[in-house]
Amino acid sequence: MIDALRTPDERFANLPDFPWAPRYIDDLPGYEGLRCAVIDEGPKSGAPTFLCLHGEPSWSFLYRRMIPAFLASGARVVAPDLFGFGRSDKPVDDAVYGFHFHRRMLLALVERLDLQDITLVVQDWGGLIGLTLPVEEGFRGRLSRLIVMNTTLATGSPPSPGFLAWRAYAKANPDLEVGALLGRGTPHLTEAECAAYDAPFPDIRYKAGVRAFPERVMTDPGMEGIEESLVAQDFWSKDFKGKVFMAIGEADMVLGPPVMENLRRFLPNCPEPLRIPEAGHFVQEWGGPVAEAALKSFASR
């Protein structure tokens, strides 16, 4: 049994522009005793599914500007909170937060919900993990499209100076002020929105995932997840025939234009990206126009 904390529900009262109630799942194989929170809206069958994967240190709240456009298209939207984030349970041991721990969880969730005709929507760790999911045959047959924002496939290559600075900052701040961090990188956030990013973390005990993720990015040979990421590069560059849409927050110093242009080399189906000069790392906070542009791009091809 994994020792974990559960953020009190009252921490999530009055979330701005986020009316969707979570669906709680506590029977994922291999994760018995842990409760996962998932936004699951729209038709449960017969419609495409947008699977929206967040990263560090955010949660499904990050997608609130994109979800309405996806739902208006008639699709199903599924936005899980990774363990350690959002309304999902939070293991207290930093060592739990390995690449495979989260990747197996997402694969189990897709199987549990029997998601079909998936548009994979990824950013940050949502991409580091999510872009490797099609390596598994059971996921590959469910995948139709990709929306990718400020992320990468980490294969052990030397990291950028921007990432090294972020990793050092996170290590020096084990009780990271998440809302303040989001606010600095996203100046248009209100106080209530910044508070929503703080909501999952009543105190430092809840932040094991926040601390662990920067250390787990695969920047050195032999790290967990590199093998899957290398196979994923081959899949996206050679085997994937579906539609791709890329949006780049150009003000991101960590996973900005150079990183995204490198990733684009492995996405031959990707047209010219949507470039947002004022957008930082958390591109979804500019997400309304991104979602609309992605839907328009898919419809035109």
> Which pLDDT tens digit goes with each residue over 265-278?
999 999 999 999 99
Mean pLDDT, the chain, integer:
97
Q: Does 171 have pLDDT greater than 90?
A: yes
For residue 46, give the amino acid letter.
G
Q: Does 301 have pLDDT greater than 90?
A: no
Residues with active-site annotation: 124, 252, 281
Q: Does 160 have pLDDT greater than 90?
A: no
pLDDT value for 1: 82
> Which pLDDT tens digit goes with each residue over 126-136?
999 999 999 99
- Sorted by where each starts, the structural domains of the chain and their CATH numbers stand as 4-300 (3.40.50.1820)
Residue ranges of E strands in the chain: 4-5, 23-25, 36-41, 49-53, 76-80, 90-91, 118-123, 143-149, 243-249, 274-276
> Which pLDDT tens digit goes with each residue over 39-58?
999 999 999 999 999 999 99
Task: Tell me the C-alpha distance between 120 and 106, whole Å.
Answer: 12
Q: How much is the pTM?
A: 0.98
